[in-house]
Structure 1
Amino acid sequence: MEQCRRKLAPTGPGVNSWGEGMTTNSVVSAFRVLEAVAELQPAGLSELTRAVDLPKSTVQRCLLTLHELGWLRPSTTQPTRWHLTYRAFAVGSQARDHQQVREAALPFLNELQLTTTETIHLCAPDGNELVLIERLDTAHPLRAFLPLGKRIPLHASATGLAFLAASTKDFVDNLLADTLPAQAVHTITDPGALRRTLDETRSRGYSINNQGLSNGITAVGAAILDAQGQPVAAVSVSGPTSRITDDKYETYGRAVHDTAEKIHNAL
């Protein structure tokens, strides 16, 4: 164990904050800065300081230490802006449950993409959000686009609404105890309206999200259940509102529902 600790301990500037006497606060601060860079990259010091609400000196120290450890890289231009390195991808891709879902889902996601010709998203839960773990792009030049790793609010997305509709009452109640921030022109922010939407989603077997996450984008989604009937992921068909019109909801909705069923059976 001692050999392992010596091997992993960083060297050079910043070692005292990480190698010896590292406090819980410093760990929390570092992860907050890391997550802020992931969300805002390329991000500058002032922007990150505002985002994490920490002293500039603390943010600067976290950035330098994360750089020494290989998690972040600075730009070569001034003012310095920060990016994630591939270390974050390498570690994140080891999430076993999500990888299992992704591998089981891929053949059926391809079928769904060919059927609908629109963008397909596969999302997995992380706390009270979903994370985009796979995206199949459409050939249409005008399309929906979210970067892999994007954190997606449950109340504002087709995948999130489908996931919530399949979740327990306690899980939904816990989410609704907090404010539901608006993301786009038609984001559902009223708890009562959200509960009614979830009831409709359960009845139909798929969710409809018309410009709730991004202006001009409509999506339909369905939850992927495990053997116990609990949601473990969600899949959606997304595209411009001008193409995914009311008359396509049922066709795409049934297709995405059937895809979720196929993935469930594969799992």
Structure 2
Amino acid sequence: MATTSVVSAFRVLEGVAELQPIGLSELARAVDLPKSTVQRCLLTLQEVGWVESSAAAPTRWGMTLRALSVCGGVGLRESLREVALPVMNDLQLATTETVHLAAPDGDVLVLLERLDTSHRLRAFLALGERIPLHTSATGLAYLSACTPEYVADYLAGPLEQRTPDSMKDPAAIRAELAVIRERGYSVNVGGLSSGISSLGAPVLDRTGAPVAAVSVSGPSSRLEPSRFDDLGPRVADAAARITRLLRP
């Protein structure tokens, strides 16, 4: 590839990273290059797994997690949310309960997106809520996919008790994580909010490391144990779909 082509490709890549999701015409104006040049660069960058186009029209371009992992996570959460939303919508329609997407920030998860149920009685967490890993379905699901070293370090620290039903004993949490790995999804009854039950599953990157977790939540009076065998596999399938979409 000629030097000018390499320079153009980097200008296009930087434009996508800064402005994503962005259309071809808007990107061409932003980087001050002809549309034909920008389109060639985008197709080349897509071929090597650094950018991706939206499935829906009009076409919008964004960074892939492959590029984000190399570039230090530019726009990671927004890209994750964009990929996950259609799957979350399917899960919400299938379960009729609230669906959450959370991603790590240090040793907690942060709620990135919530799709509410139409039921008057519902689970509610504010966007941006910081969620301890050991007290929630999303957190336990995420923790179940972490390395043994990370789990050991996390459990060696102080473990907040959000409700009387929050697990605090490291041995009990380790045992629960083993069950989650075997079953494919987590179950949390009242551990984060009293009277609320949730089921969660981890979202993984191309290396198998967890990058997020998705869950279904609702009042324990409605999310009874008799529903867990139906809801759990649905959550696990949704997380697996998001995982596949994230991988370049």
**Same fold by TM-score greater than 0.5:** yes
Whole-angstrom CA distance in 2 between matches of 1:132 and 1:95:
18
Q: Which residue of 2 aligns with 1:124?
A: 103
- The share of aligned pairs that are identical, in percent, is 53
Aligned residues of 2:132 and 2:160 also touching (Cα < 8 A) = no
State the aligned residue count: 174
Q: 1:99 aligns with which of 35, 59, 78?
A: 78
What's the TM-score once normalised by structure 1's chain length?
A: 0.64
Whole-angstrom CA distance in 2 between matches of 1:160 and 1:119:
16
- Pairwise mapping of residues 15-54 of structure 1 onto structure 2 (< 5 A)? none
Q: Which residue of 2 aligns with 1:202?
A: 181
1:229 matches 2:208: yes
Q: Once the 2 structures are TM-superposed, how far is the Cα of residue 254 of structure 1 from its aligned partner?
A: 0.3
Q: Which has the higher contact order (CA 8 A, sep 6+)?
A: 2
Once the two structures are superposed, residues 89-147 of structure 1 have per-residue CA deviations (whole angstroms, 9 ceiling, x without a partner) of xxxxx961111111110000000000000000000000000000000000001000000
1:182 matches 2:161: yes
Q: Once the 2 structures are TM-superposed, how far is the Cα of residue 236 of structure 1 from its aligned partner?
A: 0.2
Q: Which stretch has the larger CA shift, 135-144 or 176-185?
A: 176-185
Q: Which runs of 5+ in 1 are unaligned?
A: 1-93
- Pairwise mapping of residues 4-15 of structure 1 onto structure 2 (< 5 A)? none
Q: Which runs of 5+ in 2 are unaligned?
A: 1-72
Whole-angstrom CA distance in 2 between matches of 1:129 and 1:174:
13
RMSD between aligned residues: 1.0
Amino acid at match of 2:106: G
Q: Once the 2 structures are TM-superposed, how far is the Cα of residue 181 of structure 1 from its aligned partner?
A: 1.6
What's the TM-score once normalised by structure 2's chain length?
A: 0.69
Whole-angstrom CA distance in 1 between matches of 2:85 and 2:221:
27
Q: 1:162 aligns with which of 141, 144, 148?
A: 141
1:141 matches 2:132: no
Structure 1: 4+ residue segments shifted above 6 A: none
